[in-house]
Structure 1
Amino acid sequence: MDLQIIPKKLSGAVTPPPSKSQAHRLLIAAALSGGRSVLHGLADSQDIQATRRCLTALGAGMEDLPDGGLRIHGLGNSVVQAGPAPILDCGESGSTLRFLIPVALLVQGEASFTGRGRLMERPLKPYEDLFREKGVAWKLEDNVLTVNGGRGYDALALDSGAYRLPGNVSSQFFTGLLFALPLLNGDSILVSTTPLESRDYLEMTRQALAAAGVTTRWADENTLCVPGGQAYQPFTATAEADWSQAGFWYAADFLDSQVETRGLDPDSAQGDKVVSELYWKLARPGDAEIDVSGCPDLLPPLAVMAAVRSGTTCFTNAARLRMKESDRLATTAAALTALGGRAEEGPDFLTVRGGPLAGGTVDCANDHRIAMAAAIAATACSGPVTVLGAECVQKSYPDFWEVYKTLGGDIHVL
């Protein structure tokens, strides 16, 4: 679907969709419990559909409730399921894939994972190196990853102990292990061999574990202690509004629209709540530098803010963005350049020089955050903006275009 957006300021109040990051975690914690949990506020995005689909394939029950909630019938604790290894279709969700590899090894002993787009090209080496060391067979071929603990169905495919992996690739590897390790018989430690990035995402994971009665603790800034022999308990929870998606509405307000963002928890564990601080940092004229290692998903809306402010903005420690749904350093730079802005990518940085935006055509490269960034940038352009492949917002914000229109956006389907 291609859209043309006629530049127009937005006005009104908006509540962002439920946090995708939190919803993934709550779903998995509920699925590992020994009873029935109820979750509310889960957005029906493609990524959340992927996690639900995979947990169902592993044996969890999912029951949609009349009030919009979801009842999850848990798998039980540390019980290896008999039967053939499932094929888990993760769609384009990196969270689903990385979170569920250790879970599938624990629950099933072996599993095959598949996905679409760039998913199976995204980094998995920290898991591959770790699990090969632990004796887990690992094979990635023809877009299908197969992992096999080699234990059959009479013993767990994972052992308790020390798990060491780099913390500068993605915190998602740590989250996947945090779900599995409490169910092992002995105690474990999870150690980052490099300075740990995106620590806030691990705090979100620990919150989901705590909701299910599972405890962990920090031994130091790079080491998590995970007691074994624990059991996930059923629970009831509601996913918070998503600070990552709120970033786009903050950007709209920065670009002189009158958008009030509601429903956000200022005390949330979501690291992207930092957008409220960065908004004011960018509002001050002059050159600015922003380290996005802890908030990589905010780069597109922050770059849109930077494109119209007075001064040059350099976004640093951004190498991980090259392995998102698109090479997001390249596609963000290309989008701003296509609209008449001035942006230059480097190996691990993006430099944006403020100035007027003219309008033009943006290829979303099948990246939901590029599509939303282009839509917000359009509000400050002097001419129309064409967005190619605009349907990609379904990945995380299915009703984004409807919300955009309710705020006064002028959109035409081409």
Structure 2
Amino acid sequence: MDLQITPKKLSGAVTPPSSKSQAHRLLIAAALSGGISVIHGLADSQDIRATRRCLSAMCAGMEDLPDGTLRVHGLGNGIVIAPPYALLDCGESGSTLRFLIPVGLLIQGEASFTGRGRLMERPLKPYEDLFREKGIAWKLADNVLTVNGGRGYGTLALDPGTYRLPGNVSSQFFTGLLFVMPLLEGDSTLVSTTPLESRDYLEMTRQAQAAAGVTSRWLDENTLFVPGGQTYQSFEATAEADWSQAGFWYAADFLDSRVDIRGLNPDSAQGDKAVSELYWRLARPGDTEIDVSGCPDLLPPLAVMAAARSGTTRFVNAARLRMKESDRLSTTAALLTALGGRAEEGPDFLTVHGGTLTGGMVDCANDHRIAMAAAIAATACTGPVTVLGAQCVQKSYPDFWEVYKNLGGDIHVL
């Protein structure tokens, strides 16, 4: 679907959809429990569908109730008897894949994962190296990853002990291991061999586990101690509104729209709540530098803000953005350039020069955050903006275009 947007300021109240980062974690904690859990406020995005689909393939029961509520029948804290040769389809969700690879070791026999788009090209080496060290079979071929711990029935494929991973690739690897380590017979430690980036996301995992009665504790800033022999308990929880998606409405407000953003938890563990502070930093004129290692998903809306401010903004520690749904450093730079802005990318940085946006044509590169950033940038352009492949917002914000129109946005399908 291609859209044309006529520049127009937005006005009105908006509540962002529930945090898919939190929803993934609540779903997995519920699925690992030994009972029936209830989760409220789930958004029906493609990424959340992917996690639900995979957990269902592992025989967790999913029962939809009204108003985005889901009843989850847990697997029961142990070995999973999945259908023979079950293939876990992760869609384009990196969270689904990386969170569930260790959980897949609970399956009796092989666990196989696949995905679409760039998913199976995204980095998995931290797991591959660790699994080979632990004697767990790892095979990635023809867009399918198969892992097999080679243990008999009733035995987990992982042993308690020390698990070391680099912390500068993605916190998602830590989350995946953290989900299964409490189920091991003995105590374990999870160690980041480099300074741990996106630590807030790991705190979100620990919060979801705490809701299910599972605990861990920090020994130092890079080491988690995880007691073994724990069990996940059923629970009831509500997914928070998403600070990542709120970033786009913050950007709209920055560009002189009047958007009242509601429903956000100011005490949330979501790292992207940093947008509320970064908004004010960008509002001050002059050159500035922003480290996005802890909030990489905010780069597109922050870059749109930077393109309209007075001064040059340099976003640093951003190398991981090259392995998102698109090479997001390149596609963000291309987005701004296509709309008449000035931006230069480097290996791990993006420099944006403030000025005026004129309009033009943006290829979303099948990246939901590029599509939404283009829509917000259009509100400050002097001419129309064409958005190619606008349907990609389904990945995380299915009703984004409807909300945009309700706020006064002027969009037409081409």
- TM-score after normalising by structure 1: 0.99
Regions of 4+ moved over 4 Å = none
**Is it true that 1:16 corresponds to 2:12 in the alignment?**
no
- Consecutive unaligned residues of structure 2, counting only runs of 5 or more, are none
Q: Which residue is 1:376 aligned to?
A: 376
Q: Which residue is 1:300 aligned to?
A: 300
How far does residue 44 in structure 1 lie from its aligned partner after superposition?
Answer: 0.2
Q: Which residue is 1:3 aligned to?
A: 3
Give the Cα–Cα distance (whole angstroms) in 2 for the partners of residues 154 and 392 of structure 1.
42
**Is it true that 1:65 corresponds to 2:65 in the alignment?**
yes
2:337 is paired with a residue whose SS is helix
Do the aligned residues in 2 keep the contact of 1:81 with 1:153 (CA within 8 Å)? Answer: no
- Consecutive unaligned residues of structure 1, counting only runs of 5 or more, are none
Q: Which residue is 1:156 aligned to?
A: 156
Once the two structures are superposed, the pairs formed by residues 14-413 of structure 1 within 5 Å of their partners are 14-81=14-81, 83-413=83-413
C-alpha deviations, 1:6-34, integer Å up to 9, x for none?
Answer: 00000001000000000000000000000
User: What amino acid is the match of 1:388?
Assistant: L
1:170 is paired with a residue whose SS is coil
How far does residue 39 in structure 1 lie from its aligned partner after superposition?
Answer: 0.3
User: What amino acid is the match of 1:242?
Assistant: D
Give the Cα–Cα distance (whole angstroms) in 2 for the partners of residues 11 and 115 of structure 1.
38
Give the Cα–Cα distance (whole angstroms) in 2 for the partners of residues 82 and 351 of structure 1.
48
Do the aligned residues in 2 keep the contact of 1:87 with 1:113 (CA within 8 Å)? Answer: yes
Give the Cα–Cα distance (whole angstroms) in 2 for the partners of residues 183 and 357 of structure 1.
53
2:282 is paired with a residue whose SS is helix
Give the Cα–Cα distance (whole angstroms) in 2 for the partners of residues 56 and 108 of structure 1.
15
Do the aligned residues in 1 keep the contact of 2:41 with 2:67 (CA within 8 Å)? Answer: no
Do the aligned residues in 2 keep the contact of 1:311 with 1:353 (CA within 8 Å)? Answer: yes
Give the Cα–Cα distance (whole angstroms) in 2 for the partners of residues 394 and 83 of structure 1.
29
How far does residue 67 in structure 1 lie from its aligned partner after superposition?
Answer: 4.3
Percent identical residues: 87
How far does residue 2 in structure 1 lie from its aligned partner after superposition?
Answer: 0.1
How far does residue 152 in structure 1 lie from its aligned partner after superposition?
Answer: 3.5
How far does residue 81 in structure 1 lie from its aligned partner after superposition?
Answer: 2.0
2:303 is paired with a residue whose SS is helix
Do the aligned residues in 2 keep the contact of 1:85 with 1:108 (CA within 8 Å)? Answer: no
C-alpha deviations, 1:285-340, integer Å up to 9, x for none?
Answer: 00010000000000000000000100000000000000000000000000000000
User: What amino acid is the match of 2:379?
Assistant: T
Do the aligned residues in 2 keep the contact of 1:288 with 1:312 (CA within 8 Å)? Answer: yes
1:54 is paired with a residue whose SS is helix
Give the Cα–Cα distance (whole angstroms) in 2 for the partners of residues 276 and 115 of structure 1.
34
Do the aligned residues in 2 keep the contact of 1:102 with 1:176 (CA within 8 Å)? Answer: yes
Give the Cα–Cα distance (whole angstroms) in 2 for the partners of residues 57 and 186 of structure 1.
28
Judging changes above 3 Å, is the alpha-carbon distance between structure 1 residues 413 and 67 closer, same or farther for their aligned structure 2 residues?
closer
1:153 is paired with a residue whose SS is coil
2:168 is paired with a residue whose SS is coil
Give the Cα–Cα distance (whole angstroms) in 2 for the partners of residues 116 and 269 of structure 1.
30
How far does residue 109 in structure 1 lie from its aligned partner after superposition?
Answer: 4.4
Do the aligned residues in 1 keep the contact of 2:251 with 2:302 (CA within 8 Å)? Answer: yes
Do the aligned residues in 1 keep the contact of 2:57 with 2:82 (CA within 8 Å)? Answer: no
RMSD (Å) for aligned C-alpha atoms: 0.8
1:206 is paired with a residue whose SS is helix
2:22 is paired with a residue whose SS is helix
Aligned length: 414
Judging changes above 3 Å, is the alpha-carbon distance between structure 1 residues 379 and 86 closer, same or farther for their aligned structure 2 residues?
same
Give the Cα–Cα distance (whole angstroms) in 2 for the partners of residues 387 and 287 of structure 1.
30
Give the Cα–Cα distance (whole angstroms) in 2 for the partners of residues 146 and 152 of structure 1.
17
How far does residue 355 in structure 1 lie from its aligned partner after superposition?
Answer: 0.3
- TM-score after normalising by structure 2: 0.99
Do the aligned residues in 2 keep the contact of 1:58 with 1:108 (CA within 8 Å)? Answer: no
How far does residue 77 in structure 1 lie from its aligned partner after superposition?
Answer: 1.1
C-alpha deviations, 1:142-170, integer Å up to 9, x for none?
Answer: 10001011113242111111110100000
Give the Cα–Cα distance (whole angstroms) in 2 for the partners of residues 270 and 196 of structure 1.
16
Do the aligned residues in 1 keep the contact of 2:58 with 2:82 (CA within 8 Å)? Answer: no
C-alpha deviations, 1:162-197, integer Å up to 9, x for none?
Answer: 110100000000000010000011111000000000
User: What amino acid is the match of 2:304?
Assistant: V
1:245 is paired with a residue whose SS is helix
Give the Cα–Cα distance (whole angstroms) in 1 for the partners of residues 345 and 302 of structure 2.
15
User: What amino acid is the match of 1:375?
Assistant: A
1:23 is paired with a residue whose SS is helix
Judging changes above 3 Å, is the alpha-carbon distance between structure 1 residues 109 and 163 closer, same or farther for their aligned structure 2 residues?
farther
User: What amino acid is the match of 1:176?
Assistant: G
